[in-house]
Structure 1
Amino acid sequence: MKKTLILAGVLGAFAMSAHAQSSVTLYGSLDAGLLYANNAGGHSLWAQGSGAMSNNYFGLKGAEDLGGGLKAIFTLESGFNLNNGGYKNGDSGFNRQAFVGLQSDQYGALTLGRQYDSMNQYLAPLSEAGLGFGNNLAGHPFDNDNFAQSFSVKNAVKYSSANYAGFQFGGMYGFSNQANGFANSRAWSAGASYNNGPLNVAAGYLQLNNSGSYGGNANGAASADQNISARLQRSFGVGANYTYGPAQVGFVWSHSQIDGLQSLGSGGMNLAGISGLNLHLDNYEINGAYHLTPALAFVGSYTFTDGTVTGTGTGDQSPKWHTVMLGTDYSLSKRTDVYLAGVYQHASGSLGVQNGVPVANVAAINTLSPSSTGNQVAATIGLRHRF
C-alpha cells in the first residue's frame, strides 16, 4: 500500500512538472465606439464603429518546452466584426494567423501556416497604424503597405531570429500552392530591426505576385482581404523612432509599387477607372506621442503620400494625399482604455481614366468608403479592451 502511494505521488509530481512546461493562452482585442465621417460614398455617416483604432480579434497561442532551449509553438487567431459578431470580410476560421513551429532561445523561430509578413513584423510598429496605441484610421491610403494589417499571407514559411543585443531579422516565403504556376500568387518578404535603449530603427520588404483575386487562385499566398488586387505589388521602407522620457517621435518612409491594377478600394468600395494601370506611392509619415501622465497620452501623425499613375494613355497622373491624425487615450487599467481621435485627409490630382478622361482623385481615409470629393473628415470615440 505504501509503495502504491509513493508511486502515485511520483507520477502526480511528474504530471504537474510536465504540465508546468506547457502553456496555452487566450488573448485578444475588442474595440468599439461611435464614428462620424462627413463624406463616405457621397453621404455623411454616423455609425457604430468596429475596430476604428485597433483590429478586433481573439486567439490562442501555446508553447511546449522540448528541452535544451527549444519549444514547440502555435498560434490560432481570428479577426471579426464586433458589431455583428461575424468573421472579418465574411471569411471563416482563423483568418488572421494559423501557424505551428519550433522556437529556439539561441537561433530563433521557424513557423509554417498563415502569418503576417516580415515587413509588417519589423517596420510597421514604427508607424502610427502599428504603434501600441494603434490607429487604423491613420493608415496610409488603401493601406498600400499593409501597416494596418489588412491581410496576412497564406501557405507561408517564416523565420524570425532571436534577439541579438537588440538586433533582430527575419524572412518569409508564401507558396502559390499551384502545381503548374509556382510563381503565381506567391509572396515573400524580409525585415530587420535594431532597438537599443531609446532608439529603434527598422527596414522591410514585401512582394506579392497576383495579389487579391487577380491570379484566380483562392488557395494562393496572396490574400483577398487586402484593398489592392494587382499583377505585381512591391512594398519596402525604413523607419526610426526615439523615446525621450514621456515623449516619443518617429519617421517612416514606405514605397509601394503596384503594377497591373485590377482593383483598388477602401472601406469595401472600389475606385473606378484604374483597371490595367500602374500606381507607385511614396508615404512619408511623421508621428509622435506624449504621456502627460502614466494613464493619459496624446498622439498625432502626418502622412504625405505622393503618387504616380502610368499606363493611362493620357499621360502620367500625380495623385497626392495629405493625412493628419490627432488623438488622446486614457487608460482605465492596464488592459482597458478609452479614446478620442480625429482624422482629416485632403486629396489632389487625378487617379484613373474613364472614357478617355482623367478621373479626379478623392480622399479615402483608411477603413472608410472613399469621399466623393478631395476632402474627408472622420472622428471616433470608443472603448478598447485587451486580454
Structure 2
Amino acid sequence: MNSLKRARARALALSCLPLAGALLPAGASAQSSVTLYGVVDNAFAYSSNQKGHSNFYMSQGNLQASKFGLLGSEDIGGGTKTIFRLESGFNSLTGAQSSAGYMFNRQAYVGLTNDRYGTVTLGRQYTPYFQMVGALGPTGVLTGATGAHPGDLDALDTTLRLNNSVTYLSPTIAGLQFSAQYGLGGVPGSIASGSQFSAAIRYDYQPFAVAAGYVKLKDIATSAALGTFAVNSPVNSGYATAHSSQLFAAAARYNLRDLMVGINYSNVQYTPGSGSLFTSEGVFNTYGVISTYRITPAVTVGAGYSYTQASKANGITDPARYHQISLEQTYNLSTRTTLYALEAYQHAHGKTLVAAGSTGTSITDAVAVVGDSQNTTPSSGPSQFVGMVGLRHAF
C-alpha cells in the first residue's frame, strides 16, 4: 500500500513539473543579475553669507548625491533583456530620506532593452533632456552643488523627474542617439491635462560630443506626472505659480588628451495661467563654459563660468543678471574613494520677481544663490562665496 502511494505521489509530481516550470521566476533558468550600488558623500562647508550671516557647517551629497540603489537585468532571449532600477536618496549626515514620502525618490522603473531596437522603460525617471544634455553640461563635469547654474533654474542638475512616464532610448547609430519621454497626467477625460514631454538628441564623434534637449511641463501645480521640479530659489520663486514651463538646452564638449573644454546654453520660459501670481511670460537665458584637466591619473581640476540673464517682464525694467565662477579639485584615493574641494563665487545684479507668501509676488534686488546647494540659504546681498572639503565613497 505504501509503495502504491509513493508511486502515485511520484507520478503526480512528474505531471506537475511543466506547471512548476511556468510558475517559477524566470531568473531560475534565465541569466539574470542584480547589483546594489550607492554613494556616501559628506563635507565641511563654509558660506560667506547665508541670509545675512557667514556659516561653517557640514554638508552632504556635494560631489555626488548620497544614495543607494538596485539595478537589475534578466536575459529573456532574442537579444532582449528585462531591466529595472530602484534608487533612493538619503541625507548621509542624519540618515533621513531626501524626499519625505518617497522610498525611491530618485528613480523607480522597469523596462525592456534590446541592442538592435533600443530601450523602453516605465516609471519614475529622469528626462532625456537631463540624461543627454546634463551629461555634457555643467553638472556632468562639475558638481551640481556649486557648479549648477544659479538655483538650477534650467534643471540640468537632478531636480527634474517625471512620474508615470514612458521613455524610449534609441540604440546608438554612427554616433547618434535620441530619446523621448511622455509623462501621463492621469486626468479622466483629458489625456493632455497634466502631461509632460521631453526629448533629446546626442552625437558623439571621437573626442567631440554635442547634445540638445527640450522639456515641456504642463499644469505645474497639479500634475501627477511632474514628480519634482524646483522653483524655490530667489532666482525663480516668483514664477512658482506658472501654468507651464518650457526648457531648452544645448551643450558640447571636446576632449584633447587630459584636457576637456565645453560650452552650454539654456533657455527657460515660465508661462502664466488663470491662477498665476504674475501676468507676463518670464524668460531666463544662461551661457556657460566649462573645463577640466587631469594632472595625474589621480588628480583632476575643473572650472566653470556661467552668465544668467532674466527678461524684462512683470514690471521689471532692470532684470536680474548672475555671474558665477565654480572650481573643483579631486584626488582619487582609490577607484571608489575620492577627496575633493569645491569653491564657487556668485555676484548678482538687477531686480527679480520673488514669491511674497502664498498670495502674491514682489520685485526685489537680486541676491546671490550659488549652484544648487544654497537654494534655501541664499545670500542676503548680491554676493556669495561657498567652499567645501569632503570625502566621497562609492560602492
Same fold (TM over 0.5): yes
Q: Name 1:11's counterpart in structure 2.
A: none
SS, match of residue 113 in structure 2: strand
The letter for the 1-side match of 2:381 is T
Q: In structure 1, what is the Cα distance between the partners aligned to 2:368 and 2:207?
A: 35
Q: In structure 1, what is the Cα distance between the partners aligned to 2:280 and 2:373?
A: 23
Identity of aligned residues (%): 34
Q: Name 1:194's counterpart in structure 2.
A: 203
The letter for the 1-side match of 2:151 is F
Q: Output one character per residue of 1:71-117: Cα deviation in whole Å (capped at 9) or x when no partner.
A: 00100011111111111132421111110010011011001000000
The letter for the 2-side match of 1:143 is D
Q: In structure 1, what is the Cα distance between the partners aligned to 2:209 and 2:269?
A: 26
Q: Name 2:389's counterpart in structure 1.
A: 381
Q: In structure 1, what is the Cα distance between the partners aligned to 2:65 and 2:361?
A: 39
Indicate the RMSD between aligned Cα atoms, in angstroms.
Answer: 2.7
- 1:235 equivalent to 2:244? Answer no
Q: More displaced, 253-262 or 114-123?
A: 253-262
CA 1:378–1:38 in structure 2 vs 1: closer, same or farther (change >3 Å)? same
Q: In structure 1, what is the Cα distance between the partners aligned to 2:277 and 2:298?
A: 45
Q: In structure 1, what is the Cα distance between the partners aligned to 2:102 and 2:316?
A: 43
Q: Name 1:95's counterpart in structure 2.
A: 105
- The 8 Å contact of residues 261 and 278 in structure 1, kept in 2 or not, is answered as no
1:370 to 360, 373, 378: 378
1:213-228 correspondence to structure 2 within 5 Å: 214-215=221-222, 217=223, 220-224=224-228, 226-227=230-231
Q: Name 1:292's counterpart in structure 2.
A: 295
Q: Output one character per residue of 1:302-348: Cα deviation in whole Å (capped at 9) or x when no partner.
A: 000111142x2x35441110010112100011111010110000000
The letter for the 1-side match of 2:122 is L
Number of residue pairs matched by the alignment: 359
Q: Output one character per residue of 1:248-293: Cα deviation in whole Å (capped at 9) or x when no partner.
A: 000011111122399xxxxxxxxxx975564211111100000000
Q: Name 1:269's counterpart in structure 2.
A: none
Q: Name 2:271's counterpart in structure 1.
A: 259
- 1:351 equivalent to 2:352? Answer yes
- The 8 Å contact of residues 91 and 98 in structure 2, kept in 1 or not, is answered as yes
Q: In structure 1, what is the Cα distance between the partners aligned to 2:82 and 2:309?
A: 44
Mark the structure with the bigger radius of gyration. Answer: 2
- The 8 Å contact of residues 162 and 228 in structure 2, kept in 1 or not, is answered as no
CA 1:83–1:274 in structure 2 vs 1: closer, same or farther (change >3 Å)? farther
- The 8 Å contact of residues 31 and 385 in structure 1, kept in 2 or not, is answered as yes
The letter for the 1-side match of 2:272 is G
Deviation at 1:181, TM superposition (A): 4.7
Deviation at 1:186, TM superposition (A): 2.1
- The 8 Å contact of residues 278 and 309 in structure 1, kept in 2 or not, is answered as no
The letter for the 2-side match of 1:371 is S
> Please, what TM-score do these two structures have when normalized by structure 1?
0.86
Q: Name 1:7's counterpart in structure 2.
A: none
Gaps of 5+ in 1: 1-14, 263-272
Gaps of 5+ in 2: 1-24, 233-239
SS, match of residue 226 in structure 2: coil
- The 8 Å contact of residues 277 and 361 in structure 2, kept in 1 or not, is answered as no
The letter for the 2-side match of 1:79 is G
